[in-house]
Amino acid sequence: MVELFSVLQEKFGNHIILLCHENIEEFCQRRLVADYIELKTGVYIPEVTVSPDGVIQRVEPIRYKKRLQKVISRR
């Protein structure tokens, strides 16, 4: 994962965006990847939304970090 993250940073810099269309309350593969990246690199990827009037706002996502840690520790 660290190698993938390094390649993304080399190609796109520190402005990497992971997109998804699921509702914030539903399971989201993008959030799962974001939490995995955080576990492996320490880099937190925030969750944002855009209001109808175009304002970007941070929102609190469903987090998968604890579940990922359990799965990883079983290996």
Amino acid at 38: E
Q: Which residue stretches of the chain are H helix?
A: 2-12, 29-41, 65-73
Give the residue, 53 or 75, on which the prediction is more confident: 53
Residue 16 in contact with residue 30, Cβ under 8 Å? Answer: no
Q: What pLDDT shows up at residue 64?
A: 92
pLDDT per position as a tens digit, 22-74: 777 788 888 898 898 899 888 888 888 888 999 999 988 889 999 999 998 98
How would you classify residue 22: left for phi > 0, otherwise alpha for psi between -120 and 50, otherwise beta? beta
Q: What pLDDT shows up at residue 16?
A: 79
Kindly state the tokens that stand for 26. Answer: 């539903």
- The model's pTM is 0.75
